[in-house]
Structure 1
Amino acid sequence: MSDPRMKLVLVTPEIPWNTGAIGRTCVSLNLELILIKPLGFSLDEKSVKRAGTDYWKHVHLSEYDSWQHFLDVRTPPRDSLYFFEETGAQSFYTPDYQPDAYLVFGCESKGLPLPILEGLEDRIFHLPMRNPLVRSLNLANVATTVIYQAMRPYLT
């Protein structure tokens, strides 16, 4: 089995410590972190670095000015895109993640913009929750959970 080249994409993240914590997870698993602007914070902020601790300097980080800029430069194949939203019709346990997957998450307050998701309904996944009192989970927690599920075949 080949080594995965998965990437984690945050579209317009708002909370620096979530991005920092996700960056730390990316470092631990050798994943690229892709940030789609605008960001709700400066990457110079102490809170991003604090959440990523001394690992932030090791994050393989790429930034794009917009979703369209990302698509134009990266040209990801449709089947390598996996979007995560609480309204996704399929569980994140369903897919067999491609080794070159782009795991895409939206901002903390609004999720992913609808224009990004249009026509990609079969690529949208959710994390199951048993209690209807909870609408959503923390972005860093969801991203870490998804990353480990997607990389499960590659981890021992």
Structure 2
Amino acid sequence: MSDARMKMVLVTPEIPYNTGAIGRTCVALNLELILIKPYGFSLDEKSVRRAGTDYWKHVTLSEYDDWHSFLTARQPARDQLYFFEEHGAQTIYAPTYAQDAYLVFGCESAGLPRSILNDMDDRVFSLPMLDTRVRSLNLANVATAVIYQAMRPQLGG
């Protein structure tokens, strides 16, 4: 599939509110939301729709049974993949994002599986946190910060 737009990818999301909120951001920016199973909730849950408000029906949504199915179907180039983890070696400000980038986020409790990140250390980025008392940030907040940074050139920034 050839699509020059950026895409948000959530791997095994657990919290319906985060998925709904990210879906709403995807609608606002005309992005595809890609979900990798298993989920910690049903997409039919009211909480997903509530977080996405009445925009959820407008989400361009693709689903895959697992990471391998996603890679097989989409065949992204290595330089299209950007992974986000709290311990990424570079910050979200370091790369020049490809226009057809896949912005990949892991589940709320464990992040991305090591098997996905193997040999991808140079493709893992973090959102800086200045106070070490904070272990992590909310997934929906991080995803929104990342996508706006990634799309700065397209949004006039």
Range of TM-score over shorter length = over 0.9
Q: Separation in 2 of the partners of 1:136 and 1:4?
A: 31
Give the superposed CA RMSD. Answer: 1.0
**Secondary structure in 1 matching 2:28:** helix
Deviation at 1:43, TM superposition (A): 0.4
Name the aligned partner's letter for residue 53 of structure 1: T
Name the aligned partner's letter for residue 122 of structure 2: D
Q: Which residue of 1 aligns with 2:108?
A: 108
Q: Separation in 1 of the partners of 2:134 and 2:4?
A: 33
Q: Which residue of 2 aligns with 1:123?
A: 123
Counterpart mapping for 1:1-156 below 5 A: 5-156=5-156
Name the aligned partner's letter for residue 134 of structure 1: V
Deviations 1:116-145 (A, max 9, x none): 000000000001110000011000000000
**Secondary structure in 2 matching 1:13:** coil
Deviation at 1:4, TM superposition (A): 5.1
Counting aligned pairs with the same residue, the percent is: 75
TM (norm. structure 1) is 0.97
- Which 5+ residue runs of structure 1 have no aligned equivalent? none
Q: Separation in 2 of the partners of 1:4 and 1:27?
A: 16
Name the aligned partner's letter for residue 96 of structure 1: T
Q: Separation in 2 of the partners of 1:25 and 1:45?
A: 19
- Which 5+ residue runs of structure 2 have no aligned equivalent? none
**Secondary structure in 2 matching 1:154:** helix
Equivalences, count: 154
8 Å contact kept, 1:37–1:65: yes
Q: Separation in 1 of the partners of 2:128 and 2:14?
A: 24
Name the aligned partner's letter for residue 27 of structure 1: V
Q: Separation in 2 of the partners of 1:69 and 1:134?
A: 34
Name the aligned partner's letter for residue 65 of structure 2: D
Which 4+ stretches in 1 moved above 3 angstroms? Answer: none
Name the aligned partner's letter for residue 129 of structure 1: M
TM (norm. structure 2) is 0.97
8 Å contact kept, 1:4–1:154: no
